[in-house]
Amino acid sequence: MSKVDLLGRRNFIKGVGAAAGVAVAAPVLAVSEKATDVSWDKEVEVLIIGSGFAGLAAAIEATRKGAKDVHIFEKMPYFGGNSAINGGLFAAPGTPMQQQEGVKDSVEQMVADQLKSGRGIADEELLRHVASHAVEALQMTLDAGAEYHPYLQQLGGHSVARTYQTAVSCGAGITQPLYKECQRIGVKTHNRSKFEGFVLGKDGRVEGVKMRQGYYFGEEDSGKLVYIKSKRGVLMATGGFAQNIGLRMAQDPTLTHEVGCTNTPGATGEGMLEMFRLGAVPVHLAHIQSGPWASPDEGGFGYVSNYSIFNFPHSIAINRMTGKRFMNEIADRKTRADAELACRDAKGEPLPPILITSYKDSKQHPNTAKVLKYNVGWKFDSLEALAKHFEVPLKPLKAQIEEYNRYVNSGEDKQFGKNMTKAKDKYIEAPFTVVRLWPKVHYCQGGVQVNTKAEVKDSLTGKPVAGLYAAGEVCGGIHGVSRLGSCSIPECMVMGMTAARSMMQA
């Protein structure tokens, strides 16, 4: 997809509206200090912790709004954080590609889909703020040089197709262009820089931070401690805590070290924890989302995840014990993850279900070749061979495929009410491609509470903590019980841009 202007003109955001005995990465708690007790090593204008979607977008927007000295600090040796390895899926309502494909959508419709997935506890005001400015954030990625597949996807829980995906089918297709844009406009970036705590003024205002520079992940005493003052405040864009096994088990004891995770090792949550110590409101920490598109046959996010996300709308998920479908393949993530976890053998042991797709349709996504090449997926020329390989009863499987193909023909799924729009003319027929499914911990809905200015709220006063902003997965309460896929990138970028505007107006 060539570089285009989605807005017709620049129109950025207006009106700032560990399990015991298990060796795992866990944060060493930072300690905040008083400004009167420290000697500053450096002073900057805008200070950003974290180099994912939120941090990069904030740096670019702050520079566009006149900031001359913007600094990003990243704990890991590489930039992009967890954002670089996510699926590269970006949802936005009212885009030119929707118009080209005849898709009717709106901010209200996108918000309604998210509220439904959130099971009544999502933050409607924040969801509307993000949806209202999602196209502006998408435009930022295009301005930076991001490229997308020339088609839209309809992900689980979305009532219409509204999701772009990067041409490289991962988040690096956005983080790398944004990072290059930061370099071009003079943003200073620092890797191997670990946040160690806030530095507070007499009135409790966050005046700066304590950083450990030259840090090696896992070696907590490595590097040199420095104190950095920030003229306009501090933005925490430090991501979630999915790799902090002790913390996630405190919220959900079933999420042990045996449960896989799609996140980078650095997603341990110490920035969030220090904001709690400062007085931030903890919201929805127990709502930790698992990705129903993941595979037990590869580590991390892998190749199967994006393969499955693309193919779910025109595929069938089969319980290997019964040979029958067991879920709506494009329901929201929690609904599908729970359904997959219920797939068990006669002894109650996990029996990962399979996703069956016609090869002629699956090969439209570039990951299909990789899934087959690296033996995390299979290709079969006959249903008999498929059933034998996975020990699925053939007769009910054959009947199920015949029944589903009738739904493709009629456009109505009488089993699970699946939206069949993207399944039109895509029958399940040989040759087949198959992957196994099993959820992996992917996203933490919980974090600190923020308002539509990206200000962090104080738990005692309900007012913003002066000088402190947060954006991205480190924030909580926005999505509720279950986040819809492709909604994290617009959230991170819009809230990062929002924080930048707030800092520049403060």
**Residue 431: is the preceding peptide bond cis (ω within 30°)?**
yes
Mean pLDDT of the chain: 93
DSSP string over 6-58: SSSS-----TT---TT-----PPPP--EEGGG---SEEESEEEE--SHHHHHH
**pLDDT, tens digit (0-9, with 9 covering 90-100), for 210-250:** 999 999 999 999 999 999 999 999 999 999 999 999 999 99
Cα 431 from Cα 381, distance rounded (Å): 4
Phi, psi for residue 377 in degrees, rounded to 5: -150, 165
Q: Quick: pLDDT tens for 331-381.
A: 999 999 999 999 999 999 999 999 999 999 999 999 999 999 999 999 999
Could you read off the pLDDT of 275-329 as tens digits, one per residue? 999 999 999 999 999 999 999 999 999 999 999 999 999 999 999 999 999 999 9
Question: What is the C-alpha to C-alpha distance for residues 70 and 306, in angstroms, rounded to an integer?
Answer: 34
The residue type found at 260 is G
Question: For residue 167, what is the DSSP state?
Answer: T
DSSP 60-125: HHHHHTT-S-EEEE-SSSSSSGGGGGS--EEE-SS-HHHHHHT----HHHHHHHHHHHTTT-S-HH
What 3-state DSSP class applies to 319?
A: strand
Per-residue confidence (pLDDT) for residue 31, from 0 to 100: 62
Contact residues for 199 (Cβ-Cβ < 8 A; gap 6+): 32, 33, 34, 35, 38, 206, 207, 208, 209, 210, 227, 229
Tens of pLDDT, residue by residue over 96-115, are: 999 999 999 999 999 999 99
pTM above 0.85, yes or no: yes
Question: First vs last Cα of the chain: how many Å apart?
Answer: 38
Q: Is 333 a catalytic site residue?
A: yes
CA distance to 1, 44, 53, 90, per residue, from 468 (Å): 38, 15, 18, 27
Report the pLDDT value the prediction gives residue 33, as an integer from 0 to 100: 87
Residue 463 has pLDDT above 60, yes or no: yes
Residues 6+ away with beta carbon under 8 Å from 128: 107, 111
Distance CA 332, CA 34 (A): 45
Confidence of residue 458 (pLDDT cuts 50, 70, 90): very high
Q: Which of 248, 333, 436, 483 is catalytic?
A: 333
CA–CA gap between residue 129 and residue 450 (Å, rounded): 12
- Tens of pLDDT, residue by residue over 269-288, are 999 999 999 999 999 999 99
* pLDDT digits 0-9 by tens, 468-499: 999 999 999 999 999 999 999 999 999 999 99
CA distance 452 to 125: 8
How far from chain centre, in Å, is Cα 57?
15
Strand partners, 33: 199
What one-character DSSP code corresponds to residue 483?
Answer: P
Can you give the pLDDT at residue 18? 37
Q: What share of the chain is helix, strand, coil (3-state, %, to 5)?
A: 35, 20, 45
Domains and CATH numbers, the chain: 42-241+443-505 (3.50.50.60), 293-438 (3.90.700.10)
pLDDT range class, residue 36, cuts 50, 70, 90: confident
| Element (DSSP H or E) covering residue 491 | helix 488-505
* CA distances for 445 relative to 157, 272, 290, angstroms: 16, 13, 11
